[in-house]
Structure 1
Amino acid sequence: MPKKNKEQLKMNNLTKGDLNKIFWRNTLGLQLGWNYPRMQGLGYAYTVMPALKRLYKNKKDKMKQALKLEMEFFNTTPQMSHLIVGADIALQDELGMNDDNEKAIAGLKTGLMGPFAGVGDTVFVAIYNAIIYSITAYLCMSGQALGLLIPVIGCAVITWIRWKFFNIGLSQGKKLAFAFSDKMNLLTEGASVLGLTVVGGMIPALINYKIDLTYKVGKVTMSVQGMLDKIMPALVPLAIALFSYWILGKKHMNSTRLIFVLIGLGMILGNLQPICNWIGSLF
Structure 2
Amino acid sequence: METTNDMKKLDHKTLTKSFHRWFWGALTCFSQEHMQTFGYMASMLPILRKLYPKHDDQVKAIHAYTAFFNTNPMLGTVIVGITASMEQARANGKEIDGETINDMRAGLMGPIAGIGDSLIDGTLIPILLGISLGMSTGGSPVGAIFYIVAWVLMAYFGQRFLYFRGYRFGDQAVSFLVGKQGAAVRHAIGIVGSMVVGGVLASWVNVTTSLKLRGADGKVFLNLQDKLNSIYPGLLTVLVTLFCWWLMAKKHVSAIWTMLLLVVVSLVGVLVGFFNPGLSY
After TM superposition, the score normalised by the length of structure 2 is 0.74
Q: Which residue does the alignment assign to 1:68?
A: 63
Q: Deviations over 1:112-143 (max 9, x none)?
A: 22222222212221223222223333333424
Alignment of 1:103-118 (within 5 A): 103-118=99-114
Q: Which residue does the alignment assign to 2:86?
A: 91
Which one of the candidate residues 157, 160, 178 is aligned to 1:160?
157
Which one of the candidate residues 75, 78, 92 is aligned to 2:73?
78
5+ long unaligned stretches in structure 2:
1-6, 277-281
Distance 1:68 1:21, change over 3 A: same
Aligned to 1:34, the other structure's residue is in SS state: coil
Is 1:212 aligned with 2:210? yes
Distance, in Å, in 1 between the alignment partners of 2:212 and 2:186 is 46
Distance, in Å, in 1 between the alignment partners of 2:190 and 2:126 is 14
Whether the 8 Å CA contact 1:123–1:195 is kept in 2: the answer is no
Distance, in Å, in 2 between the alignment partners of 1:274 and 1:231 is 19
5+ long unaligned stretches in structure 1:
1-10, 277-283
Whether the 8 Å CA contact 2:81–2:167 is kept in 1: the answer is yes
Distance 1:215 1:82, change over 3 A: same
Whether the 8 Å CA contact 1:118–1:188 is kept in 2: the answer is no
Which one of the candidate residues 172, 183, 187 is aligned to 1:175?
172
Whether the 8 Å CA contact 2:212–2:220 is kept in 1: the answer is no
Is 1:18 aligned with 2:14? yes
Q: How far does residue 269 in structure 1 lie from its aligned partner after superposition?
A: 3.2
Whether the 8 Å CA contact 2:128–2:147 is kept in 1: the answer is yes
Distance 1:50 1:249, change over 3 A: same
Is 1:140 aligned with 2:140? no
Alignment of 1:15-54 (within 5 A): 15-54=11-50
Distance 1:55 1:31, change over 3 A: same
Distance 1:249 1:217, change over 3 A: farther
Whether the 8 Å CA contact 2:77–2:159 is kept in 1: the answer is yes
Distance 1:93 1:119, change over 3 A: same
Is 1:199 aligned with 2:204? no
> How many residues are aligned here?
262
Distance, in Å, in 2 between the alignment partners of 1:209 and 1:120 is 33
Distance 1:274 1:233, change over 3 A: closer
Aligned to 1:69, the other structure's residue is in SS state: helix
Q: Which residue does the alignment assign to 1:6?
A: none
Whether the 8 Å CA contact 2:37–2:69 is kept in 1: the answer is yes
Distance, in Å, in 2 between the alignment partners of 1:37 and 1:151 is 33
Distance 1:174 1:50, change over 3 A: same
Distance, in Å, in 2 between the alignment partners of 1:35 and 1:160 is 27
Distance, in Å, in 1 between the alignment partners of 2:49 and 2:11 is 12
Whether the 8 Å CA contact 1:41–1:71 is kept in 2: the answer is yes
Aligned to 2:27, the other structure's residue is in SS state: coil
Distance, in Å, in 2 between the alignment partners of 1:111 and 1:197 is 33
Q: Which residue does the alignment assign to 1:222?
A: 222
After TM superposition, the score normalised by the length of structure 1 is 0.74
What root-mean-square deviation, in Å, do the aligned CA atoms of Structure 1 and Structure 2 show?
3.6
Aligned to 2:209, the other structure's residue is in SS state: coil
